[in-house]
A and B are shown apart, each in its own frame.
Chain A
């Protein structure tokens, strides 16, 4: 799953390396519009609808946190 998330992130922000072990949001790699694009792409890719209440920076700070969010959303 993380590979698929990585492909989406790279499409949205091709200038950044998302394989780094850093906080994507804190490092300024993703702004609010990037998060919107990301949520839409993840919804589409994984057939989910991420709740607005879950669109928080900490849920998009790393590949692992996004994987956790997707799994959580799938199980609702």
Chain B
């Protein structure tokens, strides 16, 4: 099933990155790879460096810093905001919603719609879709979409399956109704039967955290992780991505009445360099149309990785006076996968900053 939205645009993107950089070369002694495989994986998977947050970093602190930057640059006025949508799997608290925390830090109207949604790597697609639906009733107001996670805190140090990949980031995307006559084609799919392919066993009501859930255990591949940590079935996830995602992308192009050659860039979630190259091959499109350099530069930042990809690779093109036809594609936890085809360009702002804002105190 496809969803079609008319006259919508992404007008700005700002990604807020943790300043702290860690290098695979400094961490590889934690993993059970032989030396030769370390070098090969670095090349193939894109293991190089990544940005990770500190223990006291939160999605709302990063979002507030980013929104302040956008206001100071004159890109956003507080009275323009009609809704704040936060997509994260690492909220500041179970209560209150992170979107309410952000709303409370600014002079935003009490009529501002605040929504938190729990999505991981497909979260940017889910968030844009949610923003489009809200814009249908918000008229001239804008949606602030905040996507991102601090998942590195939930990855075991000696988990070679996830640790070398995961980075942290928070992105702010401003969406609004457009005067241009355009159509955005969206698709989103879910396979809850395989939801435990990526999960954190402890921390919810099924298994609350306790001293026992923090005890690390060894698996058959010599990874050590606790029930408080994320666990990923890499084989299942890879096969899901490679078999389901390109099919959905091709079907969406058919629905939109375009061919793969009409797409200027395929801006995908950054799961790994290897996966994205294989997706490009499967789609039979040039690999340079599917940028895969974020994983080796910033790491996989979950629902922030698509805007990080756009801000890092396309900031100049997206702020010029021209339109690109872009396909966005996200996939991961859920299992959820989705894609959007839309015209993008003439943005008011598209860029990246390192976090240099305030860490609010508990209850502040």
Contact = CB atoms under 8 A, between A and B. Distances in A.
Interface in B291-343: none
B33 A14 contact: no
B287 to A, nearest CB: 11
Given A31-B161, A31-B234, A33-B161, A40 B40 contact: yes
Contact of A32 (B34, B161, B282): B161
Contact of A40 (B160, B242, B274): B274
Contacts of A57: 235
A74 interface: no
Interface residues of B, number: 26
A19 interface: no
Interface centre among A32, A49, A52, A56 (most CB of B within 10 A): A52
B64 interface: no
Contact of A36 (B41, B243, B279): B41
15 contacts: A12-B36, A12-B40, A32-B234, A33-B234, A35-B235, A36-B41, A36-B272, A37-B37, A40-B44, A41-B40, A51-B281, A51-B282, A52-B279, A52-B282, A57-B235
Taking residues whose C-beta sits less than 8 angstroms from the other chain, chain A's interface range is 20 to 34
A45 interface: no
A49 B238 CA distance: 17
Q: Top 7 nearest A-B pairs by Cβ distance?
A: A32-B234, A52-B278, A52-B242, A40-B44, A28-B220, A31-B221, A32-B235
Contacts of B243: 52-53
B161 A52 contact: no
Contacts of B40: 12, 37, 40-41
Nearest to B164: A33
Contacts of A14: 34
Contacts of A41: 40
Interface string A15-42: 0000000000000100111111101110
Nearest to B31: A33
Contact of A53 (B41, B45, B242): B242
A36 B41 CA distance: 8
Given A11-B37, A51-B282, 17 more contacts: A12-B34, A31-B161, A31-B221, A32-B161, A33-B234, A36-B274, A37-B40, A37-B41, A39-B274, A40-B44, A51-B281, A52-B275, A52-B279, A53-B242, A53-B243, A55-B242, A56-B239
Interface centre among A36, A40, A56 (most CB of B within 10 A): A36
Contacts of B238: 32, 55
